[in-house]
């Protein structure tokens, strides 16, 4: 098994380049002179919330990276009051990249709202107007509505969970194996799903004692699952 690694340096670089593109768009189309004086991309596991606004030194955003950068399909949730909007609402995506860009736009909208002195409430009409422009420019054209759970138009075509499990089945995994627990060298693992960026070792398993994730081949998973039926007490499914 090989531990899954996120290239934090590359993801951070990509995010800063994206922020620069958003700043350029804002200066060209929305508000000349806007500049973020602080862009904090926080990888701390303790950080769970992102922020954007205005401080004494100027406009800032702070992004909780660990909350968004993860393997597999991703559900992006917005605030309940506008989550179902087909313009600024939540959506499903095949990986974390678009949801991460969306939260960056969300926080930049807060920063611009404060910078432009248009602030009325945290998610008021002025903020929604800014966020709408950023979503239309950078996010919405790239949403694959085959994966969307949006209750308004455009309608979803198929639930992401079904697509997810169908992919696993195409690689020799049974649907009822997802979520199962197996033992490997006397340690318990839970079969979590698949990593769409990998070609071979794409099945994600989580070790129970420390919640560390690893990847395995479908053949390995099939081997351990079949052994579990032969000897469930020693190597198989945990009850």
Residue 116 covered by a domain: yes
Residue 83 covered by a domain: no
What is the count of structural domains for the chain?
2
Residue 216 covered by a domain: yes
Which pLDDT score, from 0 to 100, does residue 43 have?
94
Residue 92 covered by a domain: no
118 shares its domain with 222: no
Residue 134 covered by a domain: yes
109 shares its domain with 208: no
133 shares its domain with 178: no
Residue 126 covered by a domain: yes
Which pLDDT score, from 0 to 100, does residue 78 have?
93
133 shares its domain with 186: no
183 shares its domain with 126: no
Residue 41 covered by a domain: yes
Q: Which of 112, 138, 164 is the last residue of a domain?
A: 138
Collect all residues with Cβ–Cβ distance below 8 Å to 163 and sequence separation of at least 6: 73, 146, 147
Task: Please give the residue range of the domain that contains residue 179.
Answer: 174-230
Q: Kindly give the parts of the chain with pLDDT less than 70.
A: 1-5, 72, 144-176, 193-202, 227-239
Model pLDDT for residues 58-82, shown as the tens digit of each residue: 999 999 998 888 776 788 899 999 9
Identify the CATH number of the domain in which residue 25 sits: 3.30.2010
Residue 239 covered by a domain: no
Dihedral (CA of 102, 106, 107, 111) sign: positive
d(CA 214, CA 83): 33
Q: Which of 91, 121, 138 is the last residue of a domain?
A: 138
E strands, 22-167, in order: 36-42, 51-55, 58-64, 74-76, 91-93
63 shares its domain with 112: yes
- Count of C-beta atoms within a 10 Å radius of residue 22: 21
Which pLDDT score, from 0 to 100, does residue 175 have?
63
109 shares its domain with 226: no
Q: Is 153 helix (H, G, I), strand (E, B) or coil?
A: coil
């Amino acid at each position: 098994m090989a531990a899954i690694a996120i290239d934090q340096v590359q993801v951070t670089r990509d995010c800063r380049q994206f922020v620069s593109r958003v700043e350029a768009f804002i200066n060209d189309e929305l508000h000349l002179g806007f500049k973020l004086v602080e862009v904090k991309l926080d990888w701390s596991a303790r950080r769970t919330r992102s922020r954007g606004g205005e401080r004494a030194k100027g406009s800032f955003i702070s992004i909780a990276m660990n909350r968004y950068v993860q393997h597999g399909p991703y559900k992006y949730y917005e605030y309940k009051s506008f989550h179902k909007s087909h313009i600024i609402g939540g959506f499903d995506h095949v990986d974390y990249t678009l949801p991460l860009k969306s939260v960056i736009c969300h926080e930049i909208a807060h920063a611009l709202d404060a910078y432009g002195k248009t602030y009325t409430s945290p998610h008021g009409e002025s903020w929604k107007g800014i966020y709408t422009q950023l979503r239309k420019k950078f996010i919405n054209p790239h949403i694959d509505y085959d994966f969307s759970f949006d209750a308004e138009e455009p309608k979803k075509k198929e639930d992401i969970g079904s697509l997810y499990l169908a992919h696993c089945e195409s690689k020799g995994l049974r649907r009822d194996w997802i979520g199962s627990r197996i033992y490997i060298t006397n340690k318990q693992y839970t079969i979590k799903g698949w990593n769409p960026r990998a070609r071979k070792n794409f099945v994600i398993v989580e070790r129970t004692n420390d919640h560390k994730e690893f990847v395995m081949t479908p053949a390995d998973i099939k081997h351990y699952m079949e052994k579990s039926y032969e000897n469930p007490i020693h190597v198989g499914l945990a009850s």
